[in-house]
């Protein structure tokens, strides 16, 4: 089995007596992309700065490619950690050309440097002619690609991305992050991405670590953290939820939507059932007084899909259903609610203690 490129063990950090990181553990395997996602102030950027060498941990260790770089008696300086770093704004040098920006810090002859710059421009899908341009002549997406090319120039063991797409507008952000993710995957560069954008983390990462108050509430694949969160905070942070009181018996949850199978083990007894709105399908039916018939209270058109607010009756609070926007049930119509796939029983939120 391959050894992790980045290994974070027991990292803790305080500022002015205020603990901001609590004994964090994380591993990044070769060629993978890991996204740390959390709200502003949760500690994710502090952790990235510790890995980069801009901050020193109070406890714990950081290893890159098998070498201890933090937490030892003699921490390795930032410029000796074999990392590439791309900041939120790209941080290109405005007085240098694109080629000079990419070549910054490279050793070797002028001919070899020109060849390497041309290779990197091709890697980030830009023509060699861009080498003669200045940063202000580039779009925001192109500037981020140049920043990535500069970070890749010295073939780092680890790439660090600090909110690299947040300054771009919505359309450009989506296309740029897709292009960057493809480039990193093709180059097999192990990457740690810090972001507050849940969609971004789920879309580009092989591993997602959800952070709250300096702790990881869930670490796993995008599918694991989204479909099987351990607590309510993680569930709600990653997307819309349908939360229902239920009674767990023998691996299933009895709720207002009927008997729902569960993804993981859960103790018998009263609990909270979590479903994603896209797991529910509302189908218009005649109002014949049959059991299980719900009423559409509101409809919110969102282009590709529609959000229906539905009253399931029986004293249960209204729930939200997300489904395709082609011919959805109308407001005030009666519907049957079907559930696709298993649900999850949520634990008490450990990070709120």
Q: What tokens were used for 290?
A: 């049959």
Q: What count of other Cβ atoms lies within 10 Å of the Cβ of residue 225? A: 27
What does pTM read for this prediction? 0.86
Q: What tokens were used for 170?
A: 């919505």
Residue-level pLDDT at 351: 43
Residue-level pLDDT at 154: 83
Contacts of 231 (CB under 8 A, 6+ apart): 217, 218, 346, 347, 348, 349, 350, 351
Q: What count of other Cβ atoms lies within 10 Å of the Cβ of residue 77? A: 9
Residue-level pLDDT at 348: 58
* Per-position b or e across 250-273, b if 16+ CB within 10 A of its CB: eebbebbbeebebeeebeeeebbb
Q: What count of other Cβ atoms lies within 10 Å of the Cβ of residue 61? A: 16
CATH number of 240-347: 2.40.50.140
Task: Report domain extents, the chain.
Answer: 6-232, 240-347
Q: Are 116 and 132 in contact (CB under 8 A)?
A: no
Q: Are 37 and 210 in contact (CB under 8 A)?
A: yes
CATH number of 6-232: 3.40.50.300
Residue-level pLDDT at 111: 87
Q: Which residues of the chain have pLDDT under 70?
A: 1, 72, 90, 288-291, 348-353
Q: Are 230 and 215 in contact (CB under 8 A)?
A: no
Q: What count of other Cβ atoms lies within 10 Å of the Cβ of residue 344? A: 23
Residue-level pLDDT at 145: 84
State the first-to-last Cα distance of the chain, in angstroms, to the nearest integer: 37
């Amino acid at each position: 089995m391959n050894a992790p490129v980045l290994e974070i063990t027991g990292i803790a950090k305080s500022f002015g007596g205020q603990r901001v990181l609590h004994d964090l553990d994380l591993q990044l395997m070769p060629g993978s992309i890991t996204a740390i996602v959390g709200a502003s102030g949760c500690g994710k950027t502090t952790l990235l700065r510790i890995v980069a060498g801009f901050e020193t941990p109070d406890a714990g260790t950081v290893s890159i490619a098998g070498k201890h770089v933090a937490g030892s008696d003699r921490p390795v300086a930032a410029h000796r950690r074999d990392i590439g770093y791309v900041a939120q704004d790209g941080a290109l040098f405005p007085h240098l050309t694109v080629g000079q920006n990419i070549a910054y810090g490279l050793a070797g002859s002028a001919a070899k440097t020109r060849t390497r710059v041309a290779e990197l421009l091709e890697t980030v899908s830009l023509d060699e002619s861009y080498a003669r341009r200045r940063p202000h002549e580039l779009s925001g997406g192109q500037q981020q690609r140049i920043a990535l090319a500069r970070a890749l120039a010295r073939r780092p063991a680890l790439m660090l991305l600090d909110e690299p797409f947040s300054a771009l507008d919505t359309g450009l952000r989506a296309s740029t992050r897709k292009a960057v993710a493809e480039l990193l995957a093709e180059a097999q560069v192990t990457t740690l991405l810090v972001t507050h954008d849940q969609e971004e983390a789920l879309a580009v990462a092989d591993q997602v670590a959800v952070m709250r108050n300096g702790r990881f509430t869930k670490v796993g694949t995008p599918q694991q953290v989204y479909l099987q969160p351990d607590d309510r905070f993680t569930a709600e942070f990653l997307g819309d939820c349908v939360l229902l009181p239920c009674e767990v018996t023998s691996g299933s949850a009895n709720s207002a939507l009927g008997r729902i199978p569960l993804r993981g083990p859960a103790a018998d007894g009263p609990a909270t059932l979590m479903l994603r709105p896209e797991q529910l399908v509302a189908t218009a039916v005649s109002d014949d007084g049959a059991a299980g018939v719900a009423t559409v209270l509101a409809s919110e058109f969102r282009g590709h899909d529609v959000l229906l607010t539905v009253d399931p009756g029986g004293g249960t609070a209204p729930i939200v259903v997300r489904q395709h926007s082609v011919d959805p049930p109308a407001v005030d119509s009666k519907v049957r609610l079907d559930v696709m796939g298993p649900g999850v029983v949520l634990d008490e939120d450990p990070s709120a203690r």
